[in-house]
Amino acid sequence: MPDPAQDAPEVGPPKQSAAGIPAVLNSVRHVNDQAGVLRGLPAMLAVNQKKGFDCPGCAWPEPGKRHTAEFCENGAKAVAEEATRRTVGPDFFARHPVSDLFERSGYWLGQQGRLTEPMYLAEGATHYEPVSWDRALDMIAEELRGLDTPDGAVFYTSGRTSNEAAFAYQLFARQLGTNNMPDCSNMCHESSGSALVETLGVGKGSVSLEDMYEADLIIVAGQNPGTNHPRMLSALEKAKRRGTRIVTVNPLPEAGMKAFRNPQYARGLLGRGTELTDLFAQIRVGGDLALFSAVNRLLLEADQRGEKVLDHGFVNSFTHGFEEFSEALLAEPEDEFWARTERDTGLTRSLIEELTAMVVASERIVVCWAMGLTQHKHSVPTIREVVNFLLLRGNVGRPGAGVCPVRGHSNVQGDRTMGIFERPADSFLDALGAEFGIEPPREHGHDVVNSIRAMARGEVGVFIAMGGNFVAASPDTEVTEDAMRQVGLTVHVSTKLNRSHVVTGTRALILPALARSDRDQHDGEQRWVTVEDSMGLVHASHGVLPPLSEGMRSEVDIVRGLGRRVFGNDPVDWDRMADYDRVRDHVSRVVPGFEDFNTRARKREGFALPHAPVTTGSSRPRPVWPTSR
């Protein structure tokens, strides 16, 4: 599948800074090429604004005081592709057989434009053909009702689905009788959630943007902010200008962490920018566990020498297992330990000692990470060791300190909060059942890997994807493609074409959905949704652009249309969920932390969900870790 834009890139010398005037020019070019001025300008003025819509580019939070242009180059590209004037309708599919589309790259498919009408690929057909919404939903309902077991269905979710759509989607799957709900978290931050639940009791970060600004030291490990979360560079710049020191732990130097030329300010456009990294640790891939273990050992050794580097009051009062941890980490002979550490990390002992000295000199520390830490066989132990590192000096649960797993998709964290999880807690299922008068299934369902295995065995009759690009995103592409071809009916709720639309089951449907930037109207009323950012802040998102086609539907409407066809309106009243306030009222009674959801979501700043640790007491708050021990 050769494609000049992807397969013949121009390779030049590495950049020494990121953003600046080139980022501005690239943003303007992409928006103008895709959307033009009349659609592009209103979209860019509304993205990440308090009365606008949440950027689909990433999950980095917005500051309280926002710029008029509160977006990065990546965000401009993402919004431009949503706001594009290009369309993919029946004429396009008539010109291109599926065999032709299969030979195209994912980039080419995505650049063709927005999907406008439901399309159906019949068994043995060579082309997708238009189909009415009623017929499309009826076909899905017929297939679901005809399954031998509810576990013959798999419901995948991408990280861009709104809270309201995710809640309705998981309710539909559980009313059907399955917990087969793989999602993109299975492929990125699952290890973060697992390690944080084990250690802190909550599978999310514990910091806010204000904590970033108040930190003495920020360690950015296994993450490329300038490439994947560019607005994070603004937060790091603000912290740096307040005196924060920054350590970058990465196998490759990234231009953005060298120097950030903030296009919001003249100094960024015209000057050299802000040098962000104070210490660069060019670690070997997968060496982060060894690094944090080495720093922890140095801290323990200093403590044994009588240096006051550990917070024993915090450790003794609010943690367990310190003695076992200390004994295990100090057991290996020093020469063997450092020979192994230098081999595994590729770093010198002197550099690790320099990092440790910076730690000792800092009272408040934040550790940020992304998939450079999470996508390894030993990722859970690595993140546990990061938590141990922070606990040793009391750097969790107080201002300017804590854990900061940086999520990628713009609502992947919110989807999990809403119940998109193959292993739901009994307390969640109890609340869901009580709210709707159903008996949710208790047996754990399939994650991404086990869904692929079940499809390959011919056990899946219906695969439904709420957004995303399952075929391209899943591990081992050829195995995933072969498995997908064993499914009876594959359904993709999508805004644009992608590789998953050309690797199908026996039959396939593409259902065109409204995007984050599109107006979502019902009976003359404009509806809005909510999302949760990477730091647990929930806020509203209002689409501003007129949809390019009347054939597009909101994700909530697609789910409730299926619900009505499969179950009727008893005991779940699917028709009434056309009113998103009713969906939020249901959420408020099922999901902890969402009490009075409708009122709080209407606040301009949104509201924050509880972080770990939860604090109790009035005059002297005490941290409480909601762990299993």
Structure tokens at 559: 């789910």
For range 216-241, the mean pLDDT: 90
d(CA 376, CA 372): 8
- Segment 492-542, tens digit of pLDDT: 999 999 999 999 999 999 999 999 999 999 988 999 999 999 888 999 999
d(CA 129, CA 124): 13
Structure tokens at 402: 């804590």
- Segment 437-453, tens digit of pLDDT: 999 999 999 999 999 99
Per CATH, the number for 88-184+411-513+553-595 is: 3.40.50.740
Q: Is the pLDDT of residue 303 over 90?
A: yes
CA distances for 199 relative to 202, 313, 391, 455, 622, angstroms: 8, 18, 10, 34, 17
Q: How far apart are the first and last CA of the chain?
A: 52
Structure tokens at 558: 């697609």
Q: What's phi and psi for 401, nearest 5 deg?
A: -150, 155
pLDDT computed for residue 78 by the predictor:
84
Nearest by Cα to 117 from 109, 127, 126, 128: 128
Q: What is the strand order of the sheet 245-249 is part of?
A: 279-281, 245-249, 217-221, 365-369, 402-405
pTM: 0.92
Q: Is the pLDDT of residue 18 over 70?
A: no
**Is the dihedral angle over the CA atoms 85, 88, 91, 97 positive or is it negative?**
positive
Amino acid at 246: I
pLDDT band at 356 (very low <50, low <70, confident <90, very high): very high
pLDDT computed for residue 259 by the predictor:
76
Which has more pLDDT, 262 or 545?
545
d(CA 464, CA 480): 15
Residues 6+ apart with CB under 8 A from 550: none
DSSP code of 605? T
- Segment 558-599, tens digit of pLDDT: 999 999 999 999 999 999 999 999 999 999 999 999 999 999
Q: Are 462 and 487 in contact (CB under 8 A)?
A: yes
d(CA 154, CA 172): 12
Least confident of 50-64, 238-252, 306-320, 350-364: 50-64
pLDDT computed for residue 67 by the predictor:
77
pLDDT band at 5 (very low <50, low <70, confident <90, very high): low
Place of tokens 């600004």: 213
Q: Is the pLDDT of residue 620 over 50?
A: no
d(CA 123, CA 583): 36
For range 328-355, the mean pLDDT: 97
Cα-only R_g, the chain: 25
d(CA 369, CA 244): 17
pLDDT band at 266 (very low <50, low <70, confident <90, very high): low
d(CA 159, CA 183): 8
Per the DSSP assignment, residues forming a β-bridge with 259 are: 275
Torsional class of 598: left (φ above 0), alpha (ψ -120 to 50), beta (otherwise):
alpha
* 190-405 is a CATH 3.30.565.10 domain: no
Share of the chain above pLDDT 70, in %: 94
Q: What is the strand order of the sheet 507-512 is part of?
A: 129-130, 119-121, 507-512, 489-494, 462-466, 153-157
- Domain spans of the chain? 88-184+411-513+553-595, 190-405
Structure tokens at 66: 């926002």
For range 329-347, the mean pLDDT: 96
Characterize 522-547 residue by residue with b for buried, 16 or more Cβ atoms within 10 angstroms of its Cβ, and e for exposed.
eeeeebbbbbbbbbbbbbbbbbbbeb
**Is the dihedral angle over the CA atoms 183, 187, 192, 197 positive or is it negative?**
positive
What's the count of helices (H) and strands (E) in the chain, helices before strands? 30, 23
Q: What's phi and psi for 470, nearest 5 deg?
A: -55, -45
d(CA 255, CA 261): 10
Q: Is the pLDDT of residue 1 over 60?
A: no
The DSSP annotation for 93-105 comes to: HHHS-HHHHHTS-
Q: Are 159 and 420 in contact (CB under 8 A)?
A: no
- Segment 26-70, tens digit of pLDDT: 777 877 788 788 888 888 888 878 888 888 888 888 887 777 766
Q: Is the pLDDT of residue 619 over 60?
A: no
